Amino acid sequence: MTVVIGFEGSANKIGVGIIRDGEVLSNPRRTYITPPGQGFLPGETAKHHRGVILTVLQEALDEAGLKPADVDCVAYTKGPGMGAPLVTVAIVARTVAQLWGKPLLGVNHCIGHIEMGRLITNAHNPTVLYVSGGNTQVIAYSERRYRIFGETIDIAVGNCLDRFARVIKISNDPSPGYNIEQMAKKGTKYIELPYTVKGMDVSFSGILSYIEETLFAMLVEITERAMAHCGSQEVMIVGGVGCNLRLQEMMAVMCKERGARIFATDERFCIDNGAMIAQAGWEMFRSGHVTELSDSWITQRYRTDEVEVTWRD
């Protein structure tokens, strides 16, 4: 049985998760929350992560009932993400790997979301809508790569929602997107907004003054196009914005019309967490991947389709 511990801290969440052969043994997490009207800066976010990461690590081990000797591999988020928080997590992961005498493994954050979604939902070969604060992509697996069929050409959907929340001073606790969703549920009037789909890509910067329903309609449209291209009958939504129940409802309507199935997870696994890095690390480690200490750098730009997916097929 293979046990992998994963460290995630690419944005304002810091998490440590432990996976053993497809079982989530632990997944504690902390969130850096700023006052309404403010975003989170890289330096301050990294300072928050440094202050809690060892506590979260101990919680993960205690909750799993494991000791360092029981761990087979240490995985960490290599990128993409915010530079300072990524460095903080990478340093701790490197240190832990050396102290424990375990192999180290750098993981693509986006692939962590996908592999966590596949594990939790048991989706077979879905078209993936990956929506978060930093990324918006429609993805499908083909020939050892997660191929990007469409993406944002400016800002990510989560970043658009976050900026909107800052403008009208919506609370960041537990997250701006969640609070926008709760307020939208009370709405009764749909306001027509700019709808910018360009081929398989979307643009959100011009819609920032307006917001949620139209954003999601654009995402459903490009996802349906990718499904038609791939002949897919499954959709899986991952990433922090994937928790949004309205997005799930709108996607489910499209899937029902196509006779397709929708898969999604709750906030435990949609929002950035350590277990998703552990799960992707587990898949990679079992297929022979390791990261040498000299190569254990981080990068703020690391596309999903750069990674050779050797653990599928």
Reported as a single tens digit per residue, the pLDDT across 122-177 is: 999 999 999 999 999 999 999 999 999 999 999 999 999 999 899 889 999 989 99
Q: Which of 239, 212, 24, 36 has the alpha carbon at shortest distance from 129?
A: 239
Q: What is the mean pLDDT of residues 212-221?
A: 92
Q: What is the mean pLDDT of residues 53-75?
A: 98
Q: Which residues are annotated as a binding site for substrate?
A: 130-134, 162, 177, 181, 244
Same domain, 86 and 134: no
Domain closes at, from 221, 249, 264: 264
Q: Which residues are annotated as a binding site for a divalent metal cation?
A: 109, 113, 130, 272
Q: What is the mean pLDDT of residues 55-74?
A: 98
287 close to 111: Cβ distance less than 8 angstroms: no
Strand 197-198 versus strand 201-202 pairing type: antiparallel
Going by pLDDT thresholds of 50, 70 and 90, the confidence category of residue 190 is confident
Same domain, 140 and 253: yes
Strand 136-142 versus strand 145-151 pairing type: antiparallel
- Residue with token string 């658009």: 160
Q: Name every residue whose Cβ is closer than 8 Å to that of residue 138 and which is 6 or more positions away in sequence.
A: 127, 128, 129, 130, 148, 149, 150, 151, 200, 219, 222, 223, 225, 226
Q: Which residues are annotated as a binding site?
A: 109, 113, 130-134, 162, 177, 181, 244, 272
Same domain, 248 and 280: no
Same domain, 223 and 202: yes
27 close to 60: Cβ distance less than 8 angstroms: yes
Tally of domains within the chain: 2
Same domain, 148 and 97: no
Task: Kindly state whether residue 301 falls inside one of the protein's structural domains.
Answer: no
Task: Kindly state whether residue 257 falls inside one of the protein's structural domains.
Answer: yes
Task: Kindly state whether residue 118 falls inside one of the protein's structural domains.
Answer: no
Same domain, 258 and 276: no
Same domain, 174 and 196: yes
Q: Which of 161, 97, 106 has the alpha carbon at shortest distance from 296?
A: 106
- CATH number assigned to the domain comprising residue 183: 3.30.420.40
Q: How far apart are CA 150 and CA 137, in angstroms?
A: 6
Same domain, 259 and 280: no
Same domain, 38 and 163: no
Task: Kindly state whether residue 198 falls inside one of the protein's structural domains.
Answer: yes
Same domain, 133 and 237: yes
Task: Kindly state whether residue 228 falls inside one of the protein's structural domains.
Answer: yes
Task: Kindly state whether residue 254 falls inside one of the protein's structural domains.
Answer: yes
Same domain, 150 and 278: no
Task: Kindly state whether residue 119 falls inside one of the protein's structural domains.
Answer: no
What angle do the packed helices 109-121 and 274-286 form, to 10 degrees? Answer: 90
Going by pLDDT thresholds of 50, 70 and 90, the confidence category of residue 272 is very high
Task: Kindly state whether residue 310 falls inside one of the protein's structural domains.
Answer: no
Query: What radius of gyration, in Å, describes the C-alpha atoms of the chain?
Result: 19
The model's pTM: 0.94
Q: How far apart are CA 210 and CA 212, in angstroms?
A: 8
Same domain, 253 and 210: yes
Phi and psi (nearest 5°) for 211? 140, -130
Q: How far apart are CA 211 and CA 162, in angstroms?
A: 11
For residue 209, is pLDDT > 60? Answer: no
Domain of 75, in residue numbers: 3-112+271-295
- Determine the pLDDT at residue 208: 66
- Determine the pLDDT at residue 304: 98
β-pair partners for 161: none
